[in-house]
A = this chain, B = another copy of it.
Amino acid sequence: MKLLVVGTVAFDSVKTPFGEVNDVLGGSATYFSVSASYFTDVSIVAVVGEDFPDEHLEMLRQKEVDVRGVMRSSGKTFRRKGEYGSDLNQANTLETQLNVLADFSPILPDEYTDCDFVFLANVDPVLQSKVLDQVKKPKLVAMDTMNFWIHGKHGDLIETIKRVNMVIINEGEARDLAKVPNLVHAAQWIQDLGPKTVIIKRGEYGALMFNGKTVFSAPAFPLETIYDPTGAGDSFAGGFIGYLSSVNNLNEASLRQAIILGSAMASFNVEDFSLDRLKELTYPEIEERFRMFKNLTHFEDSISLQ
C-alpha cells in the first residue's frame, strides 16, 4: 500500500553526553520515511531550502522513498539546535530557525492523493488539515502533535483530531491535551473526539496503545548506550505505520506487532546520531530485534495458585 508522510526535513545540531553534531540531516518526515521504507512505499511532502544538498535526497531515493513532494523554496532549510543532559528523556531546545518552514503550505502531487495510509507528523494542525483536504480515501490517517499546538492552536488542533483515526502523542502531551493526570482517562478523552486508536509514547518506558476498548503495553528496549534520542518518536511512527501499510491490515494483532516493530526501529535510531544507524539496517537485524522484544516481554500463561 502507499504511505504518505507530511512533516519536516531539517538540519539538526545536537549535543548529548556522547558527542555533538552540527547541521546533520533530521526532521520528522525524514526519520519517519527512512524507518517506514523498510516495510512499504513511502512518499514525502515537505519543504527544503536552497542550501539542502541533493545527496540527502539521493539517500532517500535509494531507500525508494518518493521525494517528488519535497518542495524547494528560496531561503534556508529549517534548523533546530538542541541538547540532552544525562536524562536523555529531556530535550532542551536551544534554537529553532523556521526558515522555509514559515511559509510552508503542503501541496500534494497528483500521484500522492490516492495514498492508503497517511501520517501527519508534528506540524501546524491547520497544515495537517490541508493535507486531509487533498487525499482521496485513505484507509488510515494518523497524526502527531506537540505542546506548542496544544496551547497555541487549540481549536484547530481539536478539529484536526476529529478527522483522523489515530493519534500518536507523548505522555506529557496527552495529559496536557486532555487536562487530566490519569493516562487511561487522557486516552479516553482523545478517543471521545473521534480517533479509535490512541498511542501514548513514553520514551524509555515504551508505549501504550488504546485501540477501541483494548490496551496494549510495549516496553522500550533497555539499551546500554543511547547516543541521541532525536527522531525516536518519528522512527517509531515510521516502523509502526510502515508495517501496517505493508500488511494492509488494521486488526488488533497487526497493530500490536506494528507497535513492536516501531519500538524496534526507535531503538536502532537512538544508537547513533542523525539517521546514521537507521539508514543502514538489514532485515535480519530488524527481525532479530523483534525477537528480542518477544524475549523481553514473554511469560507463560498458566499459573496454579493455592
Contact = CB atoms under 8 A, between A and B. Distances in A.
Interface of A: 38-39, 86-88, 181-185, 202, 205-206, 208, 214-219, 222-226, 243, 246, 253, 256-257, 259-261, 283, 286-287, 290, 294-301, 303, 305-306
A214 B296 CA distance: 8
Given A202-B205, A225-B182, A283 B306 contact: yes
B86 A181 contact: yes
A172 to B, nearest CB: 11
A214 B295 CA distance: 9
A215 B205 contact: no
A299 B224 contact: no
Given A182-B225, A257-B299, A38 B219 contact: no
28 contacts: A38-B305, A86-B181, A87-B181, A182-B223, A182-B225, A183-B222, A184-B223, A184-B224, A205-B205, A206-B217, A214-B295, A215-B296, A217-B219, A217-B297, A218-B297, A218-B299, A219-B219, A246-B305, A253-B300, A256-B298, A257-B300, A257-B303, A259-B299, A261-B303, A286-B305, A287-B303, A294-B299, A297-B297
Given A38-B305, A283-B306, A297 B184 contact: no
Contacts of A219: 206, 217, 219
A223 B296 CA distance: 23
A4 B296 CA distance: 30
Given A219-B219, A257-B300, A287-B303, 20 more contacts: A38-B305, A39-B305, A182-B224, A182-B226, A183-B222, A184-B222, A184-B223, A205-B206, A206-B219, A215-B222, A217-B222, A217-B296, A217-B297, A243-B303, A256-B299, A256-B300, A257-B303, A259-B299, A260-B299, A294-B299
A214 B294 CA distance: 12
Residue among A185, A219, A290 with the most chain B CB within 10 A? A219
A300 B256 CA distance: 8
B296 A185 contact: no
Contacts of A87: 181
Shortest beta-carbon contacts, A-B, top 3: A217-B219, A256-B299, A205-B205
Nearest to A252: B299
A253 B222 contact: no
A295 to B, nearest CB: 8
A203 B268 CA distance: 26
Contacts of A296: 215-217
A203 B86 CA distance: 21
